[in-house]
Amino acid sequence: MKLCDHLRSRGLLIFNNSLGCPTAQPTHRSGVLVLAKPDIQHIRQKLMGSDTVPHTAATTFRHYCQAILMWRHQLTASAVKTFCVNDWLDRKSVASGVCIQLNGSRTKRSIILTGEEEEFLECYLLKLRPLSLRRQDQDSDDKGRFFLGDSGLPLCNPSGDLRRLRDKYLQPVSEGPGADSVSDPPTGQASASMSMQEWDAFMKAFPMSLHGNAPSRDKCVEAGYPRYRPYYVKWRDLQLRQRASYMSRSLSKTSGRPHKASIQSALDKESWTTNRPLVHDVLKAWVPPERQLKDTWSILTSVMKQKWKGLAIKDFGMPKGKGVVAVMPFSKEVVICDYHDTVTSEAEGKQKRQSGFLFFIKGKETKALCIEAKASPCTCHPSLVIYGRMINHSKQLPNVKPHLHRIDFPDGPQEAVLFIAKRDIRPGEELLCDYSVTRAVVN
């Protein structure tokens, strides 16, 4: 028994258990992490190299990150669900890694991650979470949560995600009523049909194309894949997703979802005789386009509700203080957020003497105006963060610019200052604006 405990403490798995060693649940948890780690390292390498990975691989990577927190650091499912981006951005470096203060859970606590664990979670935040945000509907809200599902909404069942990760790498067996564990795999092999490296080799032998056909059984066997079926099924599944994504992009002319009749009409024009996506598949793959100045309804909704996705507040420490960082990519000329508060004329603004910020701006065909941001938070959204007020100044490296825009609010047209991306912005970048003399700090 002592030998079994010693081997398990070193992260080893025990198979063909003839010694009668007890099989405790933590052993299975550590075993899953050990078996999955090569795939996770490979996925991270591809993501950080700007390569795309299959949807199933991205999901497995997210499940593994959740498992790090729940299995290795003993966080509850509730704590993982309420884990926020701001908690991650405010992490502190310590001798053994990074310390994270969890402020969203009922019982506030801190955990210390190793450098490798930090790399995995940072990769998810910068490479995979933005994909979920892009799929988020206009009326949805991610609540600033770190882990998001495919639709861009917060997780509902982290425990279920970990069961799926366990079943992927440990062969599940029939369990009796109330059983909460699985037996050891009889052969010491993961139940997954293939590793990421094997799949990449198969894709290199049989590249996927939008209009191509799946490789036949004879070609797979000839290429050295006698157990061709799992590869064939996965190849067709990925092509189906690719075709659905292609159709959704071709129909995304406006910010609204495409109509079912339009989708069916577009599908009928394609020459695909097999592996055709359905209308439901195209709608599922649809991603809202990035917000442009012409998307008046989308801008109006975001200004009124102060819901701007893809942004987070980060504390950079003294003397800089807090600022705004992007947690999803923004393309050049995309509307990011607004500078929000009371709008007055330039003359009225120059007469102000109270503390606060006065933003003077003039459009091409508009008289000069002043936006007074003396109240924090603003009076109309007292419980929300106004991202536009938190954007720091930079004269040398600005990546956003202010734009005066007229919006037709329900109570009448009004001017608003929108921040537009000056160039493509990557996740993790701080948003910076050259306020120069257009912004006056009074007193």
Per-residue pLDDT at 299: 86
| Alpha-carbon dihedral angle through residues 283, 289, 294, 300, given to the nearest 10 degrees | 80
Average pLDDT over residues 182-197: 50
User: Could you tell me if residue 356 is left (phi over 0), alpha (psi between -120 and 50 degrees) or otherwise beta?
Assistant: left
- Selection from 259, 209, 419, 417 nearest residue 330 by Cα: 419
* Size (the chain), residues: 443
The answer to whether 132 touches 150, Cβ cutoff 8 Å, is yes
- Selection from 161, 148, 126 nearest residue 44 by Cα: 126
Which residue is listed with tokens 């508009």?
366
Paired tokens of 265: 């009409």
CATH superfamily of domain region 296-442: SET domain (2.170.270.10)
* Residues 191, 194: Cα–Cα separation, whole Å: 9
Per-residue pLDDT at 352: 64
Q: pLDDT by residue (tens digit) across 79-128?
A: 999 999 999 999 999 998 999 999 876 767 899 999 999 999 999 999 99
Return all residues near 334 (Cβ < 8 A) that are at least 6 apart: 290, 291, 292, 420, 421
pTM: 0.78
Q: Is the pLDDT of residue 378 over 90?
A: no
The β-bridge relationship of strands 392-393 and 432-433 is: parallel
Average pLDDT over residues 24-30: 62
Q: pLDDT by residue (tens digit) across 315-372?
A: 988 888 899 999 999 999 999 998 876 666 666 666 665 545 666 766 555 566 676 6
Query: Domain 2-174 classified CATH 1.10.443?
Result: yes
Q: Is the pLDDT of residue 180 over 80?
A: no
The answer to whether 164 touches 149, Cβ cutoff 8 Å, is no
pLDDT band at residue 292 using 50, 70 and 90 as cut-offs: confident
pLDDT band at residue 192 using 50, 70 and 90 as cut-offs: very low
